[in-house]
Amino acid sequence: MRQLGISVYPGHASMEDNIAYLRLAHKYGFKRVFTCLLSVEGDKEKIIKEFKQVISEANSLGMQVIADVSPRVFGELGISYNDLSFFHELGAYGIRLDIGYTGSEESLMTFNPYDLYIEINMSNGTKYLENIMSYKPNTEKLLGCHNFYPHRYSGLSYDHFIKCSKDFKQYGVRTAAFVSSNDATFGPWPVKEGLCTLEMHREMPVTAQVKHLFATGLVDDVIIANAFASEKELKALSKINKEKQTFDVELVDNIPEIEKKIVLEELHFNRGDVSEYLIRSTQSRVKYKGHEFVPFNTPEIKRGDILIDTSLYGHYAGELQIALKDMENSGKTNVVGRIVEEELFLLDYIEAWQKFGLVEGAK
């Protein structure tokens, strides 16, 4: 089951604010928590105490905390890869290796006696995972997670992201990636130009970012990298159907009741004999056979328009369509609404037989 997550950064915000954020995210069903030991400097005892407190609160809420580490952090804290008791005592669910070892060490870590998950960096595009697999790890305890990028223009290209993600998915490893809140103000590093995995996401609404990652079929968990996301954002994300592609839509003001029910209440799926002009959801024409669909709004059709054929189209009456291209309107098709502008690109991810939903008013 796919999960959503947040990030908390002890040392970068007050304990009270971090705990309040955890509780708010839990209220909206967020499960995963990312935190970072890489950027921490100062009094080690104080730092460890703060991390323990944050992790304890997250655990009490049933959330799963994974801490970002590297061989440098291991050295500074006097930790060995073959003794992960430090992270067990912290209460962590697992650790993320931002920079790894040779493959053998990672494999051994997955057999740690504390059942800690070992999450490895997905973004480098090397044979790293293949090498770890050659050392026969406990794959039940192995996870993958992409990087995030605070510097504008430094995020992953889409093609590289897809390549790296496929490399992990072919081994059945659970995957994660980061998105950026537009309301959050900080991350673990001084640079604050958004905090996302994919560069193309940097200016997008966070809901569109999350839907896009899920639409690729290559990401299991999505984590907001910067803090603190607003309650409005968390609430909107909590409404996303993680297992089925949905689109936020704007309906025309004068849409009749039956047409509105077709748009918002039916389970839609694209026909198998796909068109390059239309996504066609045809079950509504069967369900509402005999109903008179009257023309009431028949302008020229634009990409992203939601269409329902009128009774002038004979047996097509009541069929819902989404325009993939601009088209002429014969006058027999009502434009009943529109996919919101920020999500138009997601139409390209609807394949033959794919199920999808249309949701009004979600921002």
pLDDT digits (tens, 9 = 90+) for 89-105: 999 999 999 988 999 99
Mean pLDDT across 207-226: 98
Question: What is the average pLDDT score of the chain?
Answer: 95
Cα 69 from Cα 90, distance rounded (Å) = 13
Cα 182 from Cα 232, distance rounded (Å) = 11
pLDDT at 39: 59
CB 167 within 8 A of CB 124: no
CB 173 within 8 A of CB 144: yes
Mean pLDDT across 111-128: 97
Which has the closest alpha carbon to 37: 90, 89, 102, 80? 90
pLDDT at 363: 43
Which has the closest alpha carbon to 96: 73, 126, 63? 73
Segment 120-141, tens digit of pLDDT: 999 999 999 999 999 999 999 9
For the chain, the structural domain boundaries read: 3-241, 247-360
pLDDT at 40: 62
Which bin fits 42, alpha (ψ -120 to 50), beta or left (φ > 0)? left
- The CATH number of the structural domain formed by 3-241 is 3.20.20.70
* pLDDT more than 70, % of the chain: 98
Pairwise pLDDT comparison (297 vs 75), residue with the higher score: 297
CATH superfamily, domain 247-360, is Cyclophilin-like (2.40.100.10)
Mean pLDDT across 69-75: 83
Start-to-end C-alpha separation, the chain:
24
- The reported pTM is 0.95
Segment 310-334, tens digit of pLDDT: 999 999 999 999 999 999 999 999 9
Residue type for position 360: E
Cα 200 from Cα 118, distance rounded (Å) = 28
Mean pLDDT across 264-284: 97
Q: What does the DSSP 8-state code read for residue 345?
A: G
- Is the predicted pLDDT of residue 72 greater than 90, yes or no? no
